[in-house]
């Protein structure tokens, strides 16, 4: 193990201790499931009817969600382990905004689960980037943490790369509507790695409208990526219908 590998190990151990606590209530656990019996009742797995392209949960009779039906989608597939609600939503928000980077160590296991479930093959693993200033403010990029643990668990450290950089800060996506989210990211990401002919996985914590993942995929495809598959811990269920889709686009 070289110096940089040892340094990374120390840093990740500092941010993410090896013992396990329930991501919902903090109770001590004896396994890596992440949730105690009580909190697990408030965890919604994304295993119902989903869009075959982006993996978002849908309740209607349509096969595809409105985004995949009406917009240009650059990624080939997207998968999420959970629905963004209940205890999973709390765990992700704690990871992002409340210095609970240790949650990434448990949540990354569910990204590994998605790889096995869907028999995904890949050459490169990257993650949704943050600007250096935003990363300094938060102290870490939660998507990068997820990607690091994901690769460690699969013994694929060789695949992890910072393929995309974010060139300047933008308005936080959670403060914008769907159309604003798309415009907010135009020209923000830049490719900084050779992905020509490569099968790329992009990792992030949440898929809401999919604007961030789609823009990352667009940049990767423009750079010659053979395929782009996105993995997120959770995705927000589609909350609009085809009847009012014209109002959204």
The pTM of the full predicted model, rounded to 2 decimals, is: 0.86
- What's the confidence (pLDDT) of residue 105? 92
- What's the confidence (pLDDT) of residue 30? 79
- What's the confidence (pLDDT) of residue 23? 94
Note whether residue 249 is domain-resident: no
- What's the confidence (pLDDT) of residue 248? 38
Note whether residue 246 is domain-resident: no
Residue ranges making up the domain that contains 221: 3-241
Note whether residue 13 is domain-resident: yes
Note whether residue 117 is domain-resident: yes
State the Cα–Cα distance between residues 169 and 133, nearest whole angstrom.
Answer: 8
Note whether residue 65 is domain-resident: yes
Note whether residue 20 is domain-resident: yes
Note whether residue 247 is domain-resident: no
Note whether residue 248 is domain-resident: no
- What's the confidence (pLDDT) of residue 231? 98
Phi-psi region of 64 (alpha: psi -120 to 50; beta: other; left: phi over 0): beta
- What's the confidence (pLDDT) of residue 182? 63
For each successive 10 residues of the chain (249 residues), what is the average pLDDT?
Answer: 50 51 90 89 92 90 88 95 96 94 94 96 97 92 96 96 91 69 77 97 94 95 98 85 41
Q: For residue 196, what is the domain's CATH number?
A: 3.40.50.2020
Contact residues for 11 (Cβ-Cβ < 8 A; gap 6+): none
Distance between alpha carbon 33 and the CA centroid of its chain, in Å?
19
- What's the confidence (pLDDT) of residue 86? 95
- What's the confidence (pLDDT) of residue 76? 97
For the chain, the domain total comes to 1
- What's the confidence (pLDDT) of residue 59? 84
């Amino acid at each position: 193990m070289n110096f940089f590998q040892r340094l990374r190990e120390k840093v990740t151990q500092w941010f993410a201790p090896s013992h396990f606590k329930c991501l919902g209530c903090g109770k001590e656990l004896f396994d890596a499931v992440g949730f105690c019996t009580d909190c697990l009742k408030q965890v919604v797995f994304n295993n119902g009817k989903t869009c075959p392209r982006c993996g978002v949960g849908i309740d209607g009779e349509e096969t595809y969600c409105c985004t995949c039906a009406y917009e240009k989608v650059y990624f080939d597939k997207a998968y999420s382990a959970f629905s963004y609600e209940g205890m999973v939503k709390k765990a992700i928000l704690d990871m992002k905004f409340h210095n609970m980077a240790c949650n990434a160590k448990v949540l990354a296991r569910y990204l590994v689960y998605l790889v096995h479930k869907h028999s995904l093959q890949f050459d490169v693993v990257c993650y949704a980037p943050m600007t250096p200033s935003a990363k300094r403010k938060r102290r870490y990029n939660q998507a990068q943490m997820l990607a690091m643990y994901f690769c460690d668990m699969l013994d694929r450290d060789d695949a992890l790369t910072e393929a995309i950089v974010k060139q300047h800060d933008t308005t936080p996506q959670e403060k914008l509507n769907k159309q604003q989210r798309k415009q907010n990211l135009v020209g923000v990401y830049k490719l900084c790695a050779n992905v020509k002919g490569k099968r790329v996985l992009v990792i992030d914590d949440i898929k809401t409208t999919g604007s961030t993942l789609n823009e990352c995929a667009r940049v990767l495809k423009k750079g010659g990526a053979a395929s782009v598959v996105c993995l997120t811990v959770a995705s927000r269920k589609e909350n609009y219908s085809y009847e009012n889709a014209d109002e959204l686009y």
